[in-house]
Chains A and B, each alone.
Chain A
Amino acid sequence: EPEVTQTPSHQVTQMGQEVILRCVPISNHLYFYWYRQILGQKVEFLVSFYNNEISEKSEIFDDQFSVERPDGSNFTLKIRSTKLEDSAMYFCASRERSAGGQETQYFGPGTRLLVL
């Protein structure tokens, strides 16, 4: 069964450093998402991406964050200058295109980011 994959599974970085989290969505999917979960808190929506542009973003997704689909298979989340509060589990998700948005979002296993 096709699945969403994410790399790395764990990343430790110093505050102020740039990190890139990578995701390979399911191949025929057209909508892509990033969510994060700070330890002990809810899973929060960050950004959705469709047709090579951001379709929606949350207040969390400020100028320090960017997303890209560089080569038609990977979907990346870049944090330009990490802060301590960026430490979280980051989930990528993808889904097929359909009217009404009822298709299931499939999630990757997550990347645990620790900012020191």
Chain B
Amino acid sequence: AQSVTQLDSQVPVFEEAPVELRCNYSSSVSVYLFWYVQYPNQGLQLLLKYLSGSTLVESINGFEAEFNKSQTSFHLRKPSVHISDTAEYFCAVSAKAAGNKLTFGGGTRVLVKP
């Protein structure tokens, strides 16, 4: 079984400031790692994912996350946030097998202030 912990339930941040959202996981098997974003009144959208290879993965809108196997972490960062980044961010894992479910963290609500 897998579990995911997002340590911060809410992160207020000023526009153009950096932000880091923390995610730690536990699993007895190898996993894939994901960050999903949920904008107000919308569904979950994939932001980025780590499957294998380079431990640093990037999204098209400036977010990046680094897989750290020794610390079982997959923290999400953005060097400069915009008002439009206000959303809830979910870290998730799935075991490396076909058809497997996602296990989510509790989510971190990011509120970007002008």
Q: Which of A's residues lie within 8 Å of B, judged by CB? A: 4, 31, 33, 35, 41-45, 48, 50, 55-56, 58, 91, 93, 97-102, 104-110
Contact = CB atoms under 8 A, between A and B. Distances in A.
Contacts of B43: 4, 91, 107-110
Given A42-B105, A101-B94, A91 B99 contact: no
Contacts, number: 67
B96 interface: yes
B44 A98 contact: no
Contacts of B46: 104-106
Nearest to A57: B101
Interface residues of B, number: 27
B38 to A, nearest CB: 9
Interface in B42-84: 42-46, 49, 51
Interface string B83-109: 000000010101111111111111100
Interface of B: 32, 34, 36, 41-46, 49, 51, 90, 92, 94-107
B62 to A, nearest CB: 19
A55 B99 contact: yes
A55 B100 CA distance: 9
Contacts of A91: 43-44
A40 to B, nearest CB: 9
A109 B105 CA distance: 19
A104 B98 contact: no
Given A91-B43, A102-B51, A107-B44, A41 B106 contact: yes
Contact of A45 (B44, B49, B102, B105): B102
A43 B102 CA distance: 9
A69 to B, nearest CB: 15
A48 B98 contact: no
